[in-house]
Structure 1
């Protein structure tokens, strides 16, 4: 995302010379902020993880339990980040929190790991998932060539990076459009599922015996299923990376609290 600096009107004098304080422009409003979080959470994970969750735990009932646990953990973590974002109103997310609380050395390791491992691997996984879905219609009945999938993934990363560098407002507008498209897609799937259940087609969920039949209770399958589920929810922490670009961050955080607490209460 673009980091646009502007000159602060007030000048500070230090050692007889004038210095200008630089601040980030507050251009991210409520709709853009919600779209940023929603657009990242509703990514490739939610469309690919369900099959892996079910494959690891072995039964539909156990997979629903896994999804419930992942949802509760992610909600609690997001609520913690809302509080951190209102107390420490600086951009940087994990890095700035570790820096302010534990000091420079732990913060350096956080930044080092994030820049060289976490973010590149996350972007790569997302780009590859997008590429596989994008090229699948052109290769019906067969596996797409690996070179085509990886090539399109590289192009996707470059295009997204260029858009983020050029203009933050334009990027947020694109984010809103794609978030709406993804929400519509999920609503179609969810409504289809509700209609199927309303028609009495419960399948293996008719009773507990069939719902939890063949459940894998070993540590490894459960951990892998939890990883896949949490990956689908990943993204709730991204807004804290741009706290200084939010308009009225305290107000925005209050709205996010209502959004997070609303579904469980309703």
Structure 2
């Protein structure tokens, strides 16, 4: 019998639907087997049908924009008062801003070597797994798992929630003024709305995200340029009385100096963002160094100039009395147009928030491919080619933290753990040099520079424990123990739940998801 052209019978449709369901079930079964035998993950396919790869769409310009957007957020508008308070003098504060920029540049060189040696999604997780994983069947993969456990469940969503709340606060402030607080619940609601909006944009495709990043980066650099220009004008008028105090009053306490370094270091958070999305870079040996080295020196220079500009208009005492220096600076310098500064800060934070949503979802994606997270997070949309499940899960966790509202404690918790893993990541560089001596390294950082970065990170880790032990460290130990409890059965032994596998198949059908080739 000859069928009409273009006609598909109900039986044919049902048969195709059954075949698609069987293909999805086969893909899930293969992924579960790969998680149970991690040593053979590289040789196994996570898909039963045709595999796809994330497109390489990020060039040097967009990469620089993403890095600037990740680093330049709320830090430069909030941290200056803390750095000045802990350092004790104008000269010491400016020196710390300059020195931290140099240290971050050295750290960037380490990340360039690691990123070009292992051009894979995941950043720190990937480096720790590849360095320590082969050294021991049980303990080798544990550092990488604990790092991703704390990152995806505590540190990253908490930091994203803080940025979202900061964006909301700076957005509503011009409309209510400094003497009239906004209605209760407005800021968390706006923060959740912007998280969901940016998540949707990142689900549709990375092109939308990079375009938004380029615009917000240009806006925030313009805002900082205006602050610097006002500072230059103020200097030309002879307003150097605050800068002239130099190092007068510099603290002699090592704990206070460490606190100043940690506060300043927070303003550089996000410098490893591009390493977490290496598989989406065009020509990584060219794009990664150009993006990192083209953005970090510019950011460091702007940070020093912005802090100097603050001190041409505000006294150190005024800076210390203000929780948000940019507001006070705008009121003193711009007067009737002061409302523009909160809007500029909001745009700056928006770029950092977008970068965190973009990059952190790729961490979910990478660790799931290694079997250290639920398999569904390793799937991408069939048309958009973005990790939609990871983005959705991340948005849910961030919105929950936004409404809890106490992200500061979570950030203190994660900062201690992050310092520990910063030491581990630099150590992994030396391990990889011994275990992969013949691997292609387009760039190799000087050993002395890498050692200096390692010692600096260790100093920031050990110093606070010795001088000012906090209860947050107990929480970090509790989280590490909980991660260990999860690691043993579900990662090391490879246990899986049939119900979870069925849910994964259902999500594959509902969201049109496919595994990627790995």
TM-score normalised per structure 2: 0.45
Q: Is the 8 A contact 1:79 1:260 kept in 2?
A: no
* Residue 64 (structure 1) aligned to one of 83, 86, 94: 94
Structure showing greater relative contact order (alpha-carbon pairs closer than 8 Å, 6 or more residues apart): 1
Compute the displacement of 1:256 (Å).
3.3
Q: Is the 8 A contact 2:68 2:295 kept in 1?
A: no
SS at match of 2:238: coil
State the aligned residue count. Answer: 246
1:110 aligns with 2:147: yes
Query: Which consecutive unaligned segments of at least 5 residues does structure 2 have?
Result: 1-43, 134-140, 301-518
Compute the displacement of 1:196 (Å).
2.1
Structure 2 Cα separation of the partners of residues 173 and 113 of structure 1: 30
Structure 1 Cα separation of the partners of residues 242 and 161 of structure 2: 36
Gap change, CA 1:149 and 1:18, over 3 Å in 2? closer
1:239 aligned partner: 274
Compute the displacement of 1:261 (Å).
8.5
Structure 2 Cα separation of the partners of residues 257 and 157 of structure 1: 26
1:42 aligns with 2:42: no
Gap change, CA 1:21 and 1:85, over 3 Å in 2? same
Compute the displacement of 1:150 (Å).
2.2
Structure 2 Cα separation of the partners of residues 96 and 232 of structure 1: 24
Gap change, CA 1:144 and 1:74, over 3 Å in 2? farther
Gap change, CA 1:216 and 1:125, over 3 Å in 2? farther
Gap change, CA 1:186 and 1:160, over 3 Å in 2? same
* Deviation readout 1:224-259 (Å, 9 max, x if unpaired): 322221111111100011100111111112423652
1:141 aligned partner: 178
1:97 aligned partner: 127
1:194 aligns with 2:232: yes
Q: Is the 8 A contact 1:40 1:235 kept in 2?
A: yes
Query: Which consecutive unaligned segments of at least 5 residues does structure 1 have?
Result: 1-13
Structure 1 Cα separation of the partners of residues 187 and 72 of structure 2: 21
* Deviation readout 1:39-98 (Å, 9 max, x if unpaired): 111111111111222233232112112211211111111111111111111111011111
Gap change, CA 1:171 and 1:18, over 3 Å in 2? closer
More strand by share: 1
1:226 aligns with 2:261: yes
Q: Is the 8 A contact 2:60 2:288 kept in 1?
A: no
Structure 2 Cα separation of the partners of residues 174 and 253 of structure 1: 20
Structure 2 Cα separation of the partners of residues 49 and 116 of structure 1: 25
Larger radius of gyration: 2
Compute the displacement of 1:161 (Å).
1.6
Compute the displacement of 1:166 (Å).
1.8
Structure 1 stretches of at least 4 aligned residues deviating more than 4 Å after TM superposition: 260-264
Q: Is the 8 A contact 1:53 1:225 kept in 2?
A: yes
Q: Is the 8 A contact 2:123 2:275 kept in 1?
A: yes
Compute the displacement of 1:145 (Å).
4.5
